[in-house]
Structure formats: structure tokens, C-alpha cells
Copies of this chain bind each other. A is one copy, B any other.
Amino acid sequence: MTPSRRAPDNARRNESTRQAILNAALELVSEVGYAKLSVEGIAARAGAGKQTIYRWWPSKGAVLFDALLALSGGQEGETGELPDTGDLEADLRAVLRATADELNDPRYSEPMRALTVEVLVDPDLAADYQQRLEEPVREMKRRRLRSAQDVGQLSPGVDLDVAVDMIWGPVRSRWLHRDGPLTEEYVDVVVRTALQGLRAPDIPEEALGDQGAGRVDSRGGDGG
């Protein structure tokens, strides 16, 4: 895109100030929570002027978004791939356990929850989020499921977006709404159930390995 007449000139941007602002945003959101996060506070903590923030970001949500992206090291377009060992269930289990670990770490989880909530509320931010994070990630998930269809581990008639919803939806939901703890057992059961259905007879215990019983205590104290 040709830089428009009014758009700030990215080349002149002070990178160290940008870093200071993103760090300040992350620190403050951890310390005081998103509701009490303020542009003034970020600027003060970063030793920056407020105008410098307003020059480059449209809202505090956008600052936090960039801060989290930088934290995940995730470079813009770079999506990567989900693991594909040929065993869909095992791969999904690994992926979701890793996700659960991240979501159980408050340093990452609390800012992430704040951002997620802000995205629900700010349509401009939502568009950005959708384009730069949500859609690439969802496509990555679809690719892994398509590959599973190719090798007959997933019904060929299944809509891949529905499949993504069935597998990742419950975990995201439980995390976001704090419906219960995100344990390894929980994600394992979700993966297995999504793939086999609730109606299916229980898998014999011996087939489960050390993942424990098919029935887990999935509800309990939140701890938070």
C-alpha cells in the first residue's frame, strides 16, 4: 500500500519507544487488570507521551494486541503448522495440552483474556484480530483436519469449521468463562469425545494408557 498523505511514516518510528510501550502495557495489565489499564498509565510507565501512543494505535486494546503478538514472538503472517504424525487424536491431544498449559499461566492468560474480551466489544479491533490472528490460526487447524480426512481418520462429509468448533470450542469456552479447570484430563476427554461422540460406548480402560479413567472430575474449584 502506498503510504497515504496523512498516515504516520512508519520509517521514522522510534523502535525503542514502541518496545517500552508494549512492555508497559503488559506489565500494567498484569498489575491492575484491563479495566484499570489506561493510556495515560501506559505512557507514564513507558516514559512516553500520550500522543505517541495515539499516533500509532487507535485504542488501548490495539496496544495490548500488539503487545501480546510480540510476546508470542509471532511474526505477522508466519503461521506455522500443527504437528502431523499421522495419528490425529495424539496430535490434537498434544496441541491442546500445550494450549492448556499456556492458558493456565496467568502471565499469558490474564492479558489474553483481557484482549479476547476487548475483541468481543470493539468491532474495529475485532476486524484486526480476525485478520491477523484468528483466521490464520483457524486455517492452520483446518489444514490438519483436512489431512486427517485424506487418510480416513475423519469422516469425509464433516464440515471442517464445525469440526474446529467441536474440538477447540469447549476448551476456549471453559477457559474464557472459567467454567472449570483446564486439566490434561479435560482436554483429552474433549478430544476423544469430539472424535468419537457422546453416544459411543466407553473405551475399555486398558486402552487409555495412563490418561486415567474415561470419567474425569471435570468440574471443581476454579482456583482463581
Instruction: Tell me the A residues contacting B by CB distance below 8 Å.
Output: 34-35, 106, 113-114, 117, 119-122, 126, 153-159, 161-163, 165-167, 169-170, 172-174, 176-181, 183-186, 188-190, 192-203, 211-224
CB of B181 within 8 A of CB of A165, answer no
Contact of A195 among B154, B179, B198, B221 (CB under 8 A): B198
Q: How far is the CA of A189 from the CA of B218 in the complex (A)?
A: 9
Assess the B154–A198 pair: CB atoms within 8 A: yes
A180 with B215, Cβ < 8 A, contacts A121-B34, A121-B117 known: no
Number of copies of chain A assembled together: 4
Closest to A196 in B: B197
Q: What is the CA–CA distance of A46 and B185 in the complex, to the nearest angstrom? A: 50
CB pair B220–A185 under 8 Å, yes or no, is no
CA A203 to CA B186, docked complex, whole Å = 16
| Contact in complex: A179, B165 (CB < 8 Å) | yes
Nearest CB of chain B from residue A33's CB, rounded to whole Å: 8
Q: Which residues of B contact A176 (CB under 8 A)?
A: 120, 176
A121 partner residues in chain B, CB cutoff 8 A: 34-35, 114, 117
Q: Is the CB of A166 within 8 A of B166?
A: yes
A218 & B180 in contact (Cβ 8 Å cutoff):
yes
* Cβ contact within 8 Å between B190 and A165: yes
Check B196–A199 contact: CB distance below 8 A: yes
A166's partner among B153, B177, B193 (CB-CB below 8 A) is B193
Rounded to whole angstroms, the CA-CA distance of A198 and B141 in the bound complex is 15
Determine the residue in chain B with the shortest Cβ distance to A123: B224
> Shortest distance in angstroms between A23's beta carbon and chain B's nearest beta carbon?
23
Closest 9 CB pairs of A and B: A197-B197, A157-B202, A185-B216, A169-B170, A196-B197, A165-B170, A169-B173, A193-B197, A180-B219
Residue of B nearest to A177 (CB): B120
Query: Are A159 and B195 in contact (CB-based, < 8 A)?
Result: no
A199 partner, pick from B153, B184, B211, beta carbons under 8 A: B153
Q: Complex: how many Å from CA A151 to CA B11?
A: 68
**Separation in Å of the A224 CB from the closest CB of chain B?**
7
Report yes or no: A222 in contact with B158, Cβ–Cβ below 8 A: no
Sample (9) of A-B pairs whose CB atoms are under 8 Å apart: A35-B122, A120-B177, A126-B178, A159-B216, A162-B189, A166-B190, A185-B211, A193-B198, A194-B194
